Amino acid sequence: LAYLELGHLYKETQHYELATKSLEKAFNAMAQVTPNRRALCATDLGVCYALLQNHEQACHWWKTAISVYPMLLHPYLNLGHALENQGVFEEAEYYFRQASEIAPHDSRACYNLARLYSKLEAWEKAIEQYERQLIFEPNNPWIHSDVANCYLQQGNILRGKDHLLKTVELDPEGEAGRCAQFIIEGLHAAEV
C-alpha cells in the first residue's frame, strides 16, 4: 500500500519516472490482493509510461492489466487509443470492440470505434457506431454532426441534412450548431 500511495503521489505531481518505480514495486508486492486492484495498478503504470512517451511499456502494462482482470474497461480503451495513434488499426479495433463487450452501456467504445471507422472511410460502420452512441446521448449535437458527416461522405445528402438540422436544433448558438448551419448553407448554395 505504501508503494501504491507513493506511486499515486508521484503521478499526481507529474514525477512519472518515480511513479513507475513505485507502482512496479506495488504491483509486484500485490500477489495476495484482489485482481481488480492489481489491474488498476497495472493500468496506472501504463498511463505513467504513456506520459513518458514509452508506448511499448505502456501497452505492456495495459495488456498485463487485462490478463490480471479482464473486466476492467480502461486498459482496453487505452490500448485502442495507443494502437490507433501508431496506425495499427486492426488491433485498435479489436480492443475497442472488447471494451464495447465489457461495457455495452458505455458510449466511449462506440465513439472510439466510430472515429476509427471514419479514419478508415468505413462510413457504414462509423454510422452504426455513432447511432449506438446516440442511444446513450440523444441530445449531443456533436454526435449528430458526426453522423451527418458520414452520410455526406457517402453522398446521402438528405440523411446528412437531417442530422445537421438536428445539430442546429440542439445547439443553435454553440460551435456545433454554427458549423452545421454553415454546412447547410453550403449545401443549399450547391443546389442552386
pLDDT of residue 189: 81
Q: pLDDT digit of tens for each residue in the chain (192 aa)?
A: 889 999 999 999 999 999 999 999 999 998 888 999 999 999 999 999 999 999 999 999 999 999 999 999 999 999 999 999 999 999 999 999 999 999 988 889 999 999 999 999 999 999 999 999 999 999 999 999 999 999 999 999 999 999 999 999 999 999 999 999 999 999 888 776
String of DSSP letters for 87-113: T-HHHHHHHHHHHHHH-TT-HHHHHHH
Enumerate residues 6+ apart whose C-beta is below 8 A from 39: 65, 66, 68, 69, 72, 75
Query: Of 107, 108, 109, nearest to 94 (Cα)?
Result: 109
Q: Residue 192: its pLDDT value, please?
A: 62
CA distances from 99 to 102, 106, 122, 160 (A): 5, 9, 20, 28
Q: Where are the beta strands (DSSP E) in the chain?
A: none
> Which cell numbers hold the place of 7?
506511486
| pLDDT, position 42 | 96
Q: Do residues 82 and 59 lie in contact, with contact meaning Cβ atoms separated by under 8 Å?
A: yes
pLDDT at 78: 97
pTM of the model: 0.86
- 48/72 Cα distance (integer angstroms): 18
